Amino acid sequence: MALKCAAELGIPAAIHRRGGAATLRDIVADVALRQAKVPHLRRLMRVLTVSGIFAMKQQQPASSGEAVYTLTPASRLLVAGAGGGHDMSPMLRFLVHPTALTPFFSLHAWFRVDDEEEEEEPVAGGSGGGGAAMSLFEMAHGFPRWEMTGRDAAYGAVLNEAMAADSRFVMEVVFREGGGDVFRGIGSLVDVGGGHGAAAAAVAAAFPHVKCSVLDLPQVVRKAPPDAGDVRFVAGDMFEYVPPADAVLLKIFMFQYVLHCFGDDDCVKILRRCKEAIPTRDAGGKVIIINMVIGSGSQRDIFKETQALFDLYMMYIDGVEREEKEWENIFSKAGFSAYKIMPILGFLSIIEVYP
């Protein structure tokens, strides 16, 4: 909440406009706060400094000099043009949006719900990552997360902005860390659940010879940006049909995640549709998944913690992050013959799955 407050007030941008260093008085002036709030702002900045969001240095002499706050790699990601050109503040706004957070206040009650009673009258659209008929989100709001995006235009906009920001950021990491090689040699690609096409546009820009399409629900495609370049949008249901292509892209990108939003049975159904859409392995056909593989990649504590916390977070829509054996089981049931995992970004992986 402290980070949300700082972002909503525009503190990272205010520090950036000051050349990357600002005193409390500078920040108060730039974000238009009353002087009476200075002591409270100091306490807020103390929390965010200790947690590494900002850095602080004391002007000399320490007894009378003002503290100067600077951006860190984390807070630079919240300022357009300061984090390698990426502004991840839309992601932050989504993660702390009341609609996303409210379900967790009922987590204890959700654990005590009798699943057998739920299954007698399941909520339409439930995914069932852990086998429960009703997700935490459905229990809190009365309908699935996907339906909420249609009911609440403001929430849907926050979601789409977060998806686009995360797609641009992660795709750049994919290309920079060598993951771009997975796109070489393919002539066409369809991004399943690709939202407004940020990831597909990134692939098209990096590999102009690849014809990129996006498959998403009709209500999403209707609001696709007109400046998507060479990306073609297809309205449809990934459970029913995936347009033919040399490769199918299934991303994790927050919350453009596809497979981690669904239980195993639904993942198998989606992957079977993907398998129908691609040519044989000898002809270059494959499914490209960007997702977490629990236990794969860097073993640094911070990355292991990220994977564990993200898996817990996904519980709110009954989604799940998976270990390699769980992925292998899904691929096998969907009729695929082999797969390859390449860790990126510490906690994510690129999975190539072959028919």
Structure tokens of 341? 């995992």
Please give the C-alpha separations between residue 295 and each of 14, 82, 119, 191, in angstroms, as whole numbers. Answer: 39, 32, 32, 26
Q: Would you say the C-alpha torsion 306, 309, 311, 313 has a positive or negative sign?
A: negative
| Alpha carbon 342 to chain centroid, angstroms | 19
Structure tokens of 107? 């987590």
Is there a catalytic annotation at residue 260? yes
Q: What angle do CA 288, 294, 300 make, to 5 degrees?
A: 115
Exactly one of 16, 86, 196, 260 is catalytic; name it: 260
Strands 232-235, 211-216: pairing is parallel
Residues 175 and 187: their CA atoms lie apart, in Å, by: 17
Number of neighbours of residue 8 by Cβ within 10 angstroms? 13
Q: What angle do CA 157, 265, 350 make, to 5 degrees?
A: 65
Contact 54, 48 (CB under 8 A): yes
β-strand partners of 294: 323
Residues 181 and 320: their CA atoms lie apart, in Å, by: 28
- Rounded to 10 deg, the angle between the 264-277 and 324-333 helix axes is 60
Contact 340, 333 (CB under 8 A): no
Residues with active-site annotation: 260
